[in-house]
Structure 1
Amino acid sequence: MGSTEEMKFLVDVAHLYYEKQLTQQQIARKLHVSRSLVSKVLVKARKSGVVEVVIHDDKIHAHKELEERMKGIFGLKEIICAEPMEGQTEEECTALQAGKYLARRLPNVKYAAVSGGRMARETAMKFTSPIPLEHVTFVPLCGGVDKELWDIQANTVCEYFASHCGASGLQLHAPIVVDSKEAKDIFMSQRFIEEVLQKAKQSDIAFVGIGTGSRYFEMTNLYLEKEQCMETEMKDKVKGDLIYNFYDLQGRLLDCPWNRQNMTLSLEDLQQIPEVIGAAYETEKAEAIYIAVRRKIISSLIVTAPLARQILKLHSRFL
């Protein structure tokens, strides 16, 4: 390929990726080349100066004081208070900010573990990276959910992330919960499950959505026998949910059939990952998030300013 022809090819690929926002796989199909070639071309486009990444952040940060206060109180590695633009929902804004933060962190990451849930899905679907991330492998933190909820399960979220940046994605071929602790032990000992969860444990970074206590009743009623739901016993105990692990006011894993039978990384293992990023926008999740950051399970946060203020109010109340 001659230099002029090669330069035109670089420009064409860069235009499709950065301006038309096609995925690398879509570009490969459109131009009848391999995805690996598209990835190499994008790297060359940046190195040769065809593409320049410029970040404009000229506005005064409206929530800098709020973010610094949250960092100081909870010892967070990072917090970003998302501010919706005109015509933008809080969910969209939070997902976009979470994606931008991930794009900054992923260039030096080998394994990135992700949860299921609507926030994880929205972030993955809106995710873009200024550089190809073919060295990154996205790993699910938990098993799959019902057919009706397939698009928010961790396996699907991994696919979304990987397809938007040229990365790879693993699949955890297991249900989210099984019928007994004995069944869980058998599943967890299977090589194809054990290997995926081991890579999740080895991840450099994890991205998780956060659920309220009410999620417990939705999931147990959907998947467990009625006598296993323990609705009366759990009513005032369950306060939050991280990767389908339900915890109490102290951030301790609740002793219940669901937590004994779920197919997911444990809270202890999640806490060992160097950076666990949580994202949410709903103020009703303040208590669940407060508990998770106080217990140092979540180390970085992307939330809206109203949610951050609600978390601080809870902190003042519990002092």
Structure 2
Amino acid sequence: MDAMKIEQTEETNLLTEIAVAYYQDGATQEEISKRFGLTRVKVGRLLKRARDIGIVEITVKYHPVFSAKLEEKLKETFGLKRALIALDQPSEEEQRTLIASVVSTYLSSSLNDNMVISVGQGRNVSAVSEHIGIVTPKECTFVASIGGIHPRGGMLNADHISRQFAKTFGGVSETLYAPAYISDPDLRNTLMNDITVRQTMDIARKADVALVGIGDLAENSYMVNQGWFSVQEMVEARIQQGVVGEVGGYDFFDIKGEVQDTKMSNRVVGLTIADYQKIPEVIAIAAENSKPLSILGALRTGAIDVLATSVANAITILNLEAQQ
């Protein structure tokens, strides 16, 4: 066996033993330092290392009564199946990581063998696929619901995310062999009718579950950064048509949840809101605290069945709904 692998195995074993002693058996760091012949400072560093590489996964839970009441209020108000609410975190990245953990746990318990899962693009969906945690293997098919992104899209590409989910759960993935964005609407429509693209899209449309992100129309949004749409097009859609967001990278809607025909329409190869409305369970993920209006509009489309977001976003959208 390679010396590096032996070293990594020994380190993992030590980290696991110390983590079990501290988190499960309740031993103090002083007791652990004596048992393993280490300094307390070293023990503290090893416990941090165990958390960093995923041996230890800490989930902070707020009061169960508050959690249950908040979820029930969201379910009652918007007709949701579930609301997966994570505690507010000091940074956007920490918020995304915690929400990803909550969604990953939910998928592990709710997915069944032979299910088809339609997978969207973006940072929030990607974070779920990259989450390090214990999941129950599922023989599922994960299929990209939107075409491929320029190489700089990397880990945010729906195809990459689908492959990562398949690797995590032990399932298989289906690639959508088409670019996500096409500047010419006529060319885009022609490609949508290609038999290979159509077959994959049909698999995605008939999925049992869909995972999507909720996007806003900020000037630094994902689609602007990718070069799909200009800042001017985003601003015009917001001002002239009241567009507040999009679901899955496709279809722009206003605060009432009504799809608007904008200059940006018909340029993306992917599922539409109408497609998502027919999928039995659509899980929408929004970690950013800048998205309450986008979340509210998305919920009003009737396409969302499970919402995963922060406490702050959940409370804000409930207050916004109550004021209208």
TM-score range, shorter chain: 0.7 to 0.9
Please state whether the residue corresponding to 2:162 is helix, strand or coil: helix
Cα distance between partner residues in 2 of 1:191 and 1:122: 32
**CA offset at residue 91 of structure 1?**
1.5
In 1, are the aligned partners of 2:148 and 2:180 still within 8 Å (CA)? yes
1:89 aligns with 2:76: no
Cα distance between partner residues in 1 of 2:161 and 2:86: 22
Cα distance between partner residues in 2 of 1:123 and 1:162: 12
**CA offset at residue 62 of structure 1?**
3.9
Please state whether the residue corresponding to 2:112 is helix, strand or coil: helix
Task: Report 1:228-307 matches (<5 A).
Answer: 230-231=233-234, 233-236=236-239, 237-245=242-250, 246-307=252-313
Cα distance between partner residues in 2 of 1:96 and 1:247: 28
The alignment covers a number of residue pairs equal to 264
In 1, are the aligned partners of 2:113 and 2:138 still within 8 Å (CA)? no
C-alpha change, 1:283 and 1:216, in structure 2 (3 Å) is: closer
1:199 aligns with 2:199: no
Q: Which runs of 5+ in 1 are unaligned?
A: 1-14, 20-56
Q: Deviations over 1:116-158 (max 9, x none)?
A: 0101001001165543212x00011101122211210111110
C-alpha change, 1:60 and 1:86, in structure 2 (3 Å) is: farther
2:191 is aligned to 187
Cα distance between partner residues in 2 of 1:255 and 1:317: 27
1:132 aligns with 2:140: no
1:176 is aligned to 180
Q: Deviations over 1:178-202 (max 9, x none)?
A: 1222101211111211111100011
**CA offset at residue 253 of structure 1?**
2.5
**CA offset at residue 231 of structure 1?**
4.8
Please state whether the residue corresponding to 2:259 is helix, strand or coil: coil
**CA offset at residue 251 of structure 1?**
2.0
C-alpha change, 1:130 and 1:150, in structure 2 (3 Å) is: closer
In 2, are the aligned partners of 1:82 and 1:305 still within 8 Å (CA)? yes
Q: Normalising by the residue count of structure 1, what TM-score does the alignment of the two structures yield?
A: 0.74
1:149 aligns with 2:153: yes
Please state whether the residue corresponding to 2:111 is helix, strand or coil: helix
**CA offset at residue 164 of structure 1?**
0.9
**CA offset at residue 162 of structure 1?**
0.6
C-alpha change, 1:206 and 1:109, in structure 2 (3 Å) is: farther
In 2, are the aligned partners of 1:212 and 1:239 still within 8 Å (CA)? yes
**CA offset at residue 220 of structure 1?**
5.2
2:20 is aligned to none
Please state whether the residue corresponding to 1:169 is helix, strand or coil: strand
Q: Deviations over 1:220-252 (max 9, x none)?
A: 5754586x9635531322201111122222222
Cα distance between partner residues in 2 of 1:185 and 1:86: 43
**CA offset at residue 287 of structure 1?**
0.9
Cα distance between partner residues in 1 of 2:312 and 2:62: 23
Please state whether the residue corresponding to 2:98 is helix, strand or coil: helix
Q: Normalising by the residue count of structure 2, what TM-score does the alignment of the two structures yield?
A: 0.73
Cα distance between partner residues in 2 of 1:276 and 1:70: 15
Cα distance between partner residues in 1 of 2:62 and 2:166: 31
Cα distance between partner residues in 1 of 2:273 and 2:219: 17
C-alpha change, 1:59 and 1:239, in structure 2 (3 Å) is: closer
In 2, are the aligned partners of 1:127 and 1:164 still within 8 Å (CA)? no
1:310 aligns with 2:313: no
**CA offset at residue 58 of structure 1?**
12
One-letter identity of the residue aligned with 1:243: G
In 1, are the aligned partners of 2:122 and 2:222 still within 8 Å (CA)? no
2:116 is aligned to 111
**CA offset at residue 211 of structure 1?**
0.9
**CA offset at residue 216 of structure 1?**
8.8
Q: Deviations over 1:30-68 (max 9, x none)?
A: xxxxxxxxxxxxxxxxxxxxxxxxxxx997454111111
Cα distance between partner residues in 2 of 1:282 and 1:142: 22
In 2, are the aligned partners of 1:127 and 1:161 still within 8 Å (CA)? no
1:64 aligns with 2:68: yes
Which of 114, 120, 128 is 2:125 aligned to? Answer: 120
Please state whether the residue corresponding to 1:210 is helix, strand or coil: strand
Comparing 70-79 and 275-284, the one that deviates more: 275-284
Identity %: 25
